[in-house]
Amino acid sequence: MENKTNCVEVVRKQKQAGKWVLISFVLLWFFVLIIFPLIGIVRETFKNAISVITSSLSSTASTHAFWLTILITFVAVVINTIFGTIMAIVFAKQNFKGKLFLESLIDLPFAVSPIVAGFMFVILFGPGGWIGSWFYSMNIKIIYALPGMIIATLFVTLPFVAKEIIPVLREFGIEQDEAALILGASQWQIFWKVTLPSIRWGLAYGVTLTIARSIGEFGAVLVVSGSIINKTQTATLRIHDQFTDLNYAGAFSAALILALISFIILNLIQYAQKRKKRI
């Protein structure tokens, strides 16, 4: 009898030990990969005088870079939300030839390296490019200009909204649409009153991912923008630029701000995800 309880006790202790090994492993991993670099950024930033930070942040090049990032992010979010939603509805509810093939293409931006994507756009939209030459003849610059940067950002963020909504819509089915139809609702009313409210948290999640990615995008935008100071330099490109110029104070202060934004977005993502699961 006593033996038995001892056995149970031993097993319990072993389980406890196993649990703590796992937890400390996760903690260690987090520290090495996330917490230490974060602390590093903060430390490096504040090691220099506050004045250096503020001056480097308030320089026209930096403010321009941040505004450019915000502008590109805003345009990318608006376009992706509208087209992503339309795409999701088409893929989830309509049937047509070639649908499977097209749907598999949504994942392409995940598979292609952003730098490769950037080169693709340079080849296509550059002055000598297939489409670009026409635009140049119309005196519209795409590469090394804002339109190209927006196109590149749209490309890398294309999957987020659609990919989040498609499964929600599939699970949702068409019965509620039909119920609304029978109750007299038009397709437009069905979209606003039935479809949109049921995908809203999936949509919110997709939008937040799009924002995060747009702000953080580096490779594709670097290639198509040429990173021209005060013209086509986004926040991430600015950080990279300052870093290579050995202006660590400037680089770290800008990096800190991006890290903060990411942190806020991360929390929004988690909130949206929780709500999505609940609905």
Instruction: Decide: is 245 part of the binding site for another protein (CB under 8 A).
Output: no
Instruction: Decide: is 171 part of the binding site for another protein (CB under 8 A).
Output: no
Joined together, the tokens standing for residue 166 give 């498609």
Joined together, the tokens standing for residue 241 give 């630029």
Q: Which residue has the tokens 């119309």?
A: 138
Instruction: Decide: is 96 part of the binding site for another protein (CB under 8 A).
Output: no
Q: Closer to another protein at the Cβ: 200 or 231?
A: 200
Amino acid code (one letter) for 203? L
Instruction: Decide: is 95 part of the binding site for another protein (CB under 8 A).
Output: no
| Contacting another protein within 120-159 (CB under 8 A) | none
Instruction: Decide: is 228 part of the binding site for another protein (CB under 8 A).
Output: no
Please select the residue that binds another protein; options are 175, 244, 246, 277, rule is CB under 8 A.
175
- Residue 103 in contact with residue 162, Cβ under 8 Å? no
- Span interacting with another protein, options 8-16, 59-67, 118-126, 194-202, rule CB under 8 A: 194-202
Instruction: Decide: is 176 part of the binding site for another protein (CB under 8 A).
Output: yes
Angle between helices 114-125 and 146-172 (to 10 degrees): 120
Q: What is the smallest separation between the CB atom of 172 and another protein, expressed in angstroms?
A: 8
Instruction: Decide: is 268 part of the binding site for another protein (CB under 8 A).
Output: no
In 3D, which of 164, 182, 189, 175 has the Cα closest to residue 269? Answer: 164
- Residue 70 in contact with residue 235, Cβ under 8 Å? no
Instruction: Decide: is 63 part of the binding site for another protein (CB under 8 A).
Output: no
Instruction: Decide: is 1 part of the binding site for another protein (CB under 8 A).
Output: no
In 3D, which of 223, 232, 203, 98 has the Cα closest to residue 155? Answer: 223
Please select the residue that binds another protein; options are 21, 28, 179, 264, rule is CB under 8 A.
179
Instruction: Decide: is 188 part of the binding site for another protein (CB under 8 A).
Output: no
In 3D, which of 270, 263, 182, 242 has the Cα closest to residue 55? Answer: 242
Q: Is 279 helix (H, G, I), strand (E, B) or coil?
A: coil
* Cα–Cα dist 131/142, whole Å: 10
Please select the residue that binds another protein; options are 90, 123, 124, 194, rule is CB under 8 A.
194
Instruction: Decide: is 182 part of the binding site for another protein (CB under 8 A).
Output: yes
Q: Which residues bind another protein (CB under 8 A)?
A: 175-176, 178-186, 189, 193-194, 197-198, 279
